[in-house]
Structure 1
C-alpha cells in the first residue's frame, strides 16, 4: 500500500490517542468485564455485554490507529524551506473573488481533515487546485455549486 501523508501534529494526536486507549481504556474495560463476570449468569448480564462491546470498539480503534501510523508518511513542514508555493502542510489565506470574503485553510492528511477547523484534506478539490500555486495566483476550484475563483493572498509554513 502507498504511504499516506500526515502532518507531525496529526501523528502526535494519533499516538496520544493510541497511548490513552492502551494504558487507560483497555485496563478500565478489562476491570469492568471482570467485575461483570462476578455477577453471575453472563447470558442476561447487560453490564458484561456492554463492557465486551466497549472492548471490541477499543481494540478495533487500536488496530485502526496502528494501521494508519504504519502507512503514514509524516511530513514536518517546518523542515521544508519556505518557497511561497502551496504544498502539503501549508496554511493558505484565500480571497474569494466573487464576494471578497477571506478564508484560511491548512492542507493536511485525509485523517486529520476537519472543515470546522479549516483543515482540508490533501485529496480535496480545493487542495488539489491549490497545490503548486504561489501567492498572488488566481485558482479556480470546481465545487458542486459551480466554479469558485480564489486569489492566494498568503502562504505560510506553520508548525
Structure 2
C-alpha cells in the first residue's frame, strides 16, 4: 500500500513554482496558477510555465503574479502577455482569423478521411457480388477430379492440398 502511494505521488506532475514565488493570498495564488496553466513556456514550448524550470518560465510566473497582485483580471493578464510575446505564449490559441486554419485543419482532415472511407466502403460493397454462387455438384466433382489428378486431396474434405503451389 505504501509503495502504491509513493508511486502515485512520484507520478504526479511536479510543479516548478518555487515557494518564494507564491502569493500570500490563496485566492490570488489560485488565479496565478490557473493563468500559469494556460501559458506556454517559450523555451520548452509544450509545457506550461507552471511545469517548466526554465528561467524564462520563472520570469513569466513572477510577471503573472505581479499583474494578479496589482489587480488585473485574468483576461487583462493574458492580453498583456499576448501583446508582449504574441499568440504563441498561449497553450490554447484564441479563435481568430489568423488561427482559424490552426483550429479547422485537424477536424477538416478527419472529416475528409471519414468521407473518403465511407465512399470507398460503399464502392467495395457494390463491387462485391451479393450472393456468391457456390459450386454445383457437377463442378465440385470436376474440381475433386482435378485435385486428385494433381496430387491434391479432395476439396470436400477441407484438408489442404499436398502439393500447394
After TM superposition, is the score higher than 0.5? no
**More helix by percentage:** 2
Into which bin does the TM-score normalised by the smaller protein fall?
under 0.3
**More strand by percentage:** 1
- Structure with more contact order per residue of length (Cα contacts < 8 Å, sep ≥ 6): 1
Q: TM-score normalized by structure 1? A: 0.23
Q: TM-score normalized by structure 2? A: 0.22
